Homo-oligomer: A and B are copies of this chain.
Amino acid sequence: MAQAYAASPLVELRSCYTRNPERRQAFAADFGCGQDESLDALLARDDVDGIVITAPNDQHAPIIEAAAAHGKHVYTEKPVAVALADLRRIRAAVLGSGIVFACGHSARRLAGLRAMKSLLDSGAAGAPSMVEAVFGNERGLELKEGDWRADPVQAPGGPLTQLGIHQIDNLQYLLGPARRAVAMGQAPRPGIANQLAVGVLLEFDESLGYLGCNWLSPGSFTIDVYARLARLRYELDFSWWSNSAQTDRHTRLTRTVIAADSANPDARVLATEEVPLPPRDHLREEIEEFAGAIRGTARVEVGLAEALANVAVLQAAARSLRTGAPTAIGDIMAEIEEPR
């Protein structure tokens, strides 16, 4: 993320803070910025407009509360938080505070996602009936007992929380709000209580979504859209996931249509063509939008409402993993918005 920011003329890394002084020093040296010895000191600075939170999920709430109290704008990594209590705190801190609030669901800014959204919104692909989104990698094979990612409370569904949350945003970006979730998981590693492979079915108003997440296989990031006039397939080479200036160059979007129609269904012929994807930089675009929103020249695309709606889907899936039954996402949203 810092690499992507360093390339932008619109933002400047002014300072940094983390509890470990060596890591703080190393970051300041790597990116040529200052450093502060406490969060309070950082938030008290006059030359800082906003902060970027990359702390673990369960530390987001107190940092956001402190930032809002200081009138500092906030960009936070996804998920905005996991625990319902944290989501309530964050919502209370941000609403009415007047700060700009952005959450890092940057994957919807990948060139392929923008192209899919445009093909759906323009009607060129026809109405979608199903979208399948998959995100996985091999990192569960190295997971140790005691790691927070091995804990179903801190990271419900393991890869669902860490990877799936990206695709939850993508699915709601493409299809609108999800209504209901049902999930199944497998926890195949002795000593690791958390699920390392999870499947989720999502009901949307007029379509279905599937989300597949695993931590047990070489990296994958794909989205398949089944629409009336075309089916679309997006593939991203996970080797390039962390380098946002290069990611789009290692992605591919294809469109499959009926190229030769016939009254005899067996005689219809399919054709697949590549959709051009002019490269973008999802992390840079996101921080520049955040800067623009602070200056009053842009609007945040993924703000508090979108961030909470994504975690509501995650928590609905997590509840379904525990109970086995489908969960209404509105029930989770009600728990976030009206604490009992």
Enumerate chain A interface residues (CB-CB to B < 8 A): 127, 129-130, 132, 134, 136-139, 141, 180, 182-186, 188, 196-203, 206-210, 212, 214, 216-220, 222, 224, 226-231, 237-239, 241-242, 256-258, 265-266, 268-270, 324-326
Contact = CB atoms under 8 A, between A and B. Distances in A.
Nearest to A186: B208
Copies of this protein, total: 2
A203 B203 CA distance: 20
Which secondary structure dominates chain A's binding surface? strand
A212 B207 CA distance: 12
B226 A217 contact: yes
**Residue of A199, A224, A266 contacting most chain B CB atoms (<10 Å):** A199
B207 A199 contact: no
Contacts of A206: 186, 188
Closest 8 CB pairs of A and B: A217-B226, A129-B197, A129-B216, A184-B201, A242-B266, A199-B201, A239-B269, A239-B270
A258 B136 CA distance: 13
15 contacts: A129-B197, A129-B216, A130-B199, A139-B265, A180-B184, A182-B201, A184-B201, A188-B206, A210-B212, A216-B226, A217-B227, A220-B231, A242-B266, A324-B326, A325-B326
Contacts of A202: 184
Given A139-B265, A239-B270, A258-B138, A208 B218 contact: no
A271 to B, nearest CB: 9
B197 A207 contact: yes
A326 B326 CA distance: 9
A222 B226 CA distance: 13
A295 B156 CA distance: 56
A274 B231 CA distance: 23
A215 to B, nearest CB: 9
Contacts of A257: 218
Given A129-B216, A136-B231, A214-B226, 16 more contacts: A129-B186, A129-B197, A130-B217, A132-B134, A132-B210, A136-B226, A182-B184, A185-B208, A188-B207, A197-B208, A199-B209, A199-B210, A217-B231, A218-B230, A220-B231, A242-B266
B207 A270 contact: no
B199 A256 contact: no
Given A138-B258, A239-B268, A201 B228 contact: no
Contacts of A188: 127, 129, 206-207
